[in-house]
Structure 1
Amino acid sequence: MMIKIKTGKILLAFALFILLVTPLTQAQTSLKNINQNLRYSRYSRIAPKIIPIQLENRKFKLQMPVEKIEDEANFEDYQFSYAIVKSFTDKIDQEDLIPLSKAKLKQETERHFYFEETVNVPKDQEEAYVVFWAKDKRQDDEYVYHEDLISPYVINHPNFGAYYNNSIPFDQTFIHKEEALIFKSEGPMDLFSFYYPREFAPPYPPMETRESPVPKEIQVQYAGQFLINTPKPFDENGYYFIQSDTTSQSGLLIKTVDEAFPGVSNYGEMIDMLVYISTRSEHEALREAADKKKALDKYWLELTHDADKAKEIIKEYFRQIEFANLLFTDFKEGWKTDRGMIYIIMGPPNDVFFEKGKEIWIYNRIGSNSKISFTFARVKNIFTPNYYKLNRSRSYQPEWFRNIKLWRSGKMAF
């Protein structure tokens, strides 16, 4: 009897040990080697984010909201943790991970779990990155999200934050026109708002090696000064840049969009978005059509020769547009970014890896055992620390046209 009890205790202790260390063992790697493909999956159950606020030169408040995508998400189904690393190649060991238990929840709402931690980066540390893990214990999926604290691509983080009216940090890439946010800081502060009304053209395809045209000047309008802790509405389509210090380059980008976004608001917009799968003559004819709905109906039917198939491809294509807008909007709509373009045509990448100056997407080639990768170079930008441009190559042409053909025949599915 004593032996059975002792064995049971040992087994129980071992089971608890396995439960506690399993996610840590899987995380014993470097940031460079972590596959972050679930951040772009169309079937994710949650979406973790990190929003740093710079309290002092090397002191940061880490806002870590987790959006609940699945209905009635249960905290007990997940294990959360985070770590601060010195580089993308820095090894992450079990002792580096800081668990985030339910007791550490700052707030839970119908749509979010929300953690908040304050960290200090040592003076002699040249770079710092925060990595946020969320493990789904039901099927061992690991959602990983990282953000720079100190790096060559970040000038400074804002010393204030933007929030919804329920005090959850603003974790989207856009806000609908005429909606409001509340800005907060650790102390009294005036904020300054600048409005940029510019619209952007879609990018060139991946095999087009010439540079996209860059505007010589960007129009900017001073949109006024306002106080923290009061709702701030955003009235115009475009993007706003909010600063506490106009002599600095740091600030917070707020992209404003129509009510239908991330979906499509009108037939003219639908036509613009077909640029990736239509020929130049088809696209010009659609844009010049007097009755755009009639022209679009004719376009889809001529592609598929089947009304039901046409409905399916329309639904699938604009679902991809919506995901691209949700995932990649910055000062441009997501579908107009390089990553958004690849995502729409190629679908969600099978593998996603980050390095200091680039993001790499890997796809399994259709009907082949080989793979194709797209590399996005990270570009320093005052509006966003996460601006990426595709490294274009003529070698992409065969695979690109193969996928375009699948779209046009109604055979693309993810």
Structure 2
Amino acid sequence: MKYLLSLSLLLTSTLLSAQQRMSSAELSYLYDQEHEFLTRYKVAALGNHYKVYFNFMLNNGNVRISDYQLSYDIRNSYIDEKPVSGSVKIDTTQVVDVAFRQFTYELEFFKEENDKLMVIDIYNVVRDEHFYLDVPLVEGNIKPTPFLIFEKDKDIPFFSKYINRNYQVRLMSPFDESLNYEISGVENNRGIAPPPFDEVNRNEPSLTALDTLYGTTEGEVFEFYNEGFYTINASDYPDLSYKVLVADEYYPYFGEYPELIQPLIYVSTNDEYKDMRESDDVRSAFEEFVNNTISANERISKDFIKYYFRRIRKSARLFTEDREGWKTDRGMVYQVFGNPIQVFRNEKTELWVFPSEEGGRIRFIFDIVYEDGITRYKLIRGKRYRESWMLAVSQWRTGRIIE
């Protein structure tokens, strides 16, 4: 009996200890756009002087800001435990902006040599439930810039992963420096992620530089006139670059039917997709695909359009990199399978777990790599995914919405 009690205490102690490690924290709430709250962040650094801007948005009418206690600590890795007495409370003194049901905090600190990770603890006091947000302070060989894109009329960062063409913003240093900036770009012609069972290595289209070259000064309001993937440098820090995708004024909606058809590549056959893209009347081709392939039932066909393209918009917020969110590996999986029921992450990989129709689990593993100045999540593909993928696509095609 004593042995069983000791074993029980040991297991309990191990679980409690594991919960203090980010590698064991369950992060699926980050990809649930209907979650009770949504989070965004931006990191700026001047040497070891760091500022993290944390945007906390209440997303449910049943919760209030008083329901939460916020704090953070700094760690060396994802497997480090929370340091004893290392938490810093996040409170109203760090609020730099308040909007409708959202609060932006400025978290300022000096990073030690081995510090790699900020962990924000979002504690719902009412339900006694903790949520953890990992904020990398250094991502591989990519260091934060001493400047950020700021809103035109607010002294807070522009948090979105993309900017719409002709949207006015500013470049600013949070460290009271007056910098001059150079902005160059390439065309947004990156490819669409192939299905998870497709292991063929495909070469990306070659990058074509945009003719326009921007120059702007500290705090000057400007806008991007052309779509593309842009690199921003400050003249005083030429080795540090900020990257951002500039999309058209409609994104993540679609202004033209040829663009509306593109995401259907995941639920159409090669011939169906080709016929739609090459049709002289693209609108009719789109409507014919939905009505004939998905369902002739008006309610079902409308639900398909509603839910399928709503995921496109969610992917824009969640997964945009150097291309639209739905074109990335994570966006592709999310588009077809929806919210993962579990997500775990460390420095090198991210794991998504979905329920299987056979009663088991489907697991997608993404390698976290650092290329071209950005962090990418590359799916480890395999033929084992073919059956699950085809079943999920079949559900979409027959109007059984996966939502």
Contact 2:276–2:285, Cα closer than 8 Å, also in 1 = yes
SS of residue paired to 1:250: strand
Contact 2:185–2:230, Cα closer than 8 Å, also in 1 = yes
1:314, 1:50 → 2: CA distance? 31
Aligned to 1:388: 377
Residues 200-211 of structure 1 aligned to structure 2 (within 5 Å):
200-211=190-201
Q: Which of 117, 127, 135 does residue 147 from structure 1 map onto?
A: 135
Distance 1:358-1:376 versus aligned 2 partners, 3 A rule: same
Aligned to 1:14: none
Contact 1:39–1:143, Cα closer than 8 Å, also in 2 = no
Aligned to 2:339: 348
Aligned to 2:146: 159
1:363, 1:299 → 2: CA distance? 28
The structural deviation recorded for 1:156 is 1.8
Contact 1:361–1:375, Cα closer than 8 Å, also in 2 = yes
1:356, 1:404 → 2: CA distance? 32
1:331-356 per-residue CA deviation (whole Å, 9 max, x = no partner) reads 10001111000000011111111111
Aligned to 1:360: 351
Q: Which of 399, 403, 408 does residue 392 from structure 2 map onto?
A: 403
Distance 1:247-1:80 versus aligned 2 partners, 3 A rule: closer
Listed as ranges, the gaps of 5+ residues in structure 1 are 1-24
The structural deviation recorded for 1:95 is 2.4
The structural deviation recorded for 1:382 is 3.5
Q: Which of 315, 318, 329 does residue 309 from structure 2 map onto?
A: 318
1:27, 1:105 → 2: CA distance? 31
Residues 2-401 of structure 1 aligned to structure 2 (within 5 Å):
28-56=19-47, 58-70=48-60, 74-93=64-83, 95-110=85-100, 112-123=102-113, 125=114, 127-140=115-128, 142-151=130-139, 153-164=140-151, 165-185=153-173, 186-221=176-211, 223-245=213-235, 248-303=238-293, 304-366=295-357, 368-384=358-374, 386-401=375-390
Contact 2:166–2:249, Cα closer than 8 Å, also in 1 = no
Distance 1:251-1:191 versus aligned 2 partners, 3 A rule: same
2:360, 2:170 → 1: CA distance? 49
Q: What amino acid does structure 2 have at the position aligned with 1:155?
A: I
1:181-226 per-residue CA deviation (whole Å, 9 max, x = no partner) reads 1121121211111121232221111101011222344425461321
Contact 2:74–2:116, Cα closer than 8 Å, also in 1 = yes
Contact 2:58–2:64, Cα closer than 8 Å, also in 1 = no
Q: How many residues align?
A: 384
Contact 1:50–1:132, Cα closer than 8 Å, also in 2 = no
Distance 1:354-1:236 versus aligned 2 partners, 3 A rule: same
Contact 2:18–2:24, Cα closer than 8 Å, also in 1 = no
2:138, 2:247 → 1: CA distance? 31
2:310, 2:138 → 1: CA distance? 36
Contact 1:28–1:94, Cα closer than 8 Å, also in 2 = no
1:355-413 per-residue CA deviation (whole Å, 9 max, x = no partner) reads 111111111113x33111101111112432x3111111011000000100001011123
Bigger shift: 317-326 or 64-73?
A: 64-73
2:236, 2:322 → 1: CA distance? 19
SS of residue paired to 1:235: coil
Aligned to 1:7: none
Question: Alignment identity in percent?
Answer: 23
Listed as ranges, the gaps of 5+ residues in structure 2 are 1-15
Instruction: Please provide the CA RMSD for this pair.
Output: 2.2
Distance 1:26-1:267 versus aligned 2 partners, 3 A rule: farther
1:200, 1:269 → 2: CA distance? 14
The structural deviation recorded for 1:145 is 2.5
When normalised by structure 2's length, the TM-score is: 0.89
Aligned to 1:8: none
Contact 2:188–2:322, Cα closer than 8 Å, also in 1 = no
1:191, 1:73 → 2: CA distance? 41
1:380, 1:47 → 2: CA distance? 25
Bigger shift: 291-300 or 343-352?
A: 291-300
Distance 1:236-1:69 versus aligned 2 partners, 3 A rule: farther
2:159, 2:44 → 1: CA distance? 13
1:50, 1:188 → 2: CA distance? 23
When normalised by structure 1's length, the TM-score is: 0.87
